[in-house]
């Protein structure tokens, strides 16, 4: 669905986001088994992998990075991830946190991102705790947060289940950090997007943690 003008949300096991400006930007690539469905959704928008400028990976869990190798096979897009997460995305190192399963083919990360850096119009917000190098992305022009798995909205807004967090305390600290930002709309890796008043809701959550 088109959540905002130029912001398309593709819901599979985990959410994939397409941003349409002068350049096309994809956020996360779903599990490998959902790649065909995501490609079909993009095709309906007349977007092919070779049209993409950047593919951001918020973290290395298989439901966010599983389809990356397939997208990159036919695409000149740059892969961008936080510096800490890049070795896990590329499989140069085996991820040592939950769920302790990495089946995705390793893909080289072209752009090593740092906290606060702006790349392709998105500001990197380092939100570790779910994984070691998790990040969220802030589109300040649209007042939009792409949270990745820094937040969960499957059964109401909250943290991710701690069985999937490498550091539950750090995960909650990252949520509190997101609560200091201003954004009207938020897209989550799992659960429905939140349109209007999103940062106020995150602030309310942070007070309860």
Q: Report the CATH number at residue 41.
A: 3.60.15.10
Identify the band that residue 102 occupies on the pLDDT scale cut at 50, 70 and 90. confident
Count H helices and E strands in the chain, helices first. 6, 13
Q: What is the dihedral of CA 80, 78, 25, 145, to 10 degrees?
A: 10
Residue 18: Cβ-neighbour burial (10 angstroms; 0-12, 13-18, 19+): buried
Identify the band that residue 19 occupies on the pLDDT scale cut at 50, 70 and 90. very high
Whole-angstrom Cα distance, residue 207 to residue 148? Answer: 21
pLDDT tens digits along 38-94: 999 999 999 999 999 999 999 999 999 999 999 999 899 999 999 999 999 999 999
Tally of structural domains, the chain: 1
Averaged pLDDT, 155-163? 96
Segments in the chain forming alpha helices (H): 35-44, 62-65, 68-73, 83-89, 168-178, 198-208
**Domain carrying residue 119:** 2-208
Identify the band that residue 123 occupies on the pLDDT scale cut at 50, 70 and 90. very high
pLDDT at 22: 79
- Does position 209 have pLDDT exceeding 90, yes or no? yes
Which range among 32-41, 97-106, 169-178 has the greatest average pLDDT?
169-178
**Angle CA(30)–CA(80)–CA(171) in degrees, nearest 5?**
70
Higher pLDDT, 184 or 22: 184
Residue 158: Cβ-neighbour burial (10 angstroms; 0-12, 13-18, 19+): middle
pLDDT at 100: 82
pLDDT at 21: 84
Q: DSSP label at 27?
A: E
Whole-angstrom Cα distance, residue 29 to residue 7? Answer: 15
Averaged pLDDT, 19-33? 91
> pTM, whole model, 2 decimals?
0.96
pLDDT at 168: 97
């Amino acid at each position: 669905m088109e959540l905002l003008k130029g912001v398309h949300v593709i819901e599979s096991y985990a959410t994939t986001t397409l941003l349409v400006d002068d350049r096309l930007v994809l956020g996360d690539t779903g599990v490998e088994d959902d790649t065909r469905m995501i490609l079909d959704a993009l095709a309906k928008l007349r977007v092919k992998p070779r049209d993409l400028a950047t593919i951001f990976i918020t973290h290395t869990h298989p439901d966010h990075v599983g389809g990356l190798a397939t997208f990159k096979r036919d695409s000149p897009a740059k892969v961008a991830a936080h510096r800490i997460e890049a070795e896990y995305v590329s499989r140069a190192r085996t991820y040592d946190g939950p769920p302790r399963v990495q089946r995705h083919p390793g893909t080289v990360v072209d752009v090593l991102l740092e906290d606060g850096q702006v790349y392709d119009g998105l500001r990197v917000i380092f939100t570790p705790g779910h994984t070691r190098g998790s990040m969220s992305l802030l589109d300040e022009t649209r007042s939009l947060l792409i949270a990745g798995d820094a937040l969960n909205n499957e059964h109401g807004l909250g943290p991710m289940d701690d069985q999937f967090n490498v550091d539950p305390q750090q995960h909650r600290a990252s949520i509190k950090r997101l609560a200091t930002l201003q954004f009207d709309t938020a897209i989550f890796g799992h659960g429905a997007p939140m349109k209007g008043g999103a940062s106020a809701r995150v602030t309310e959550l942070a007070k309860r943690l």
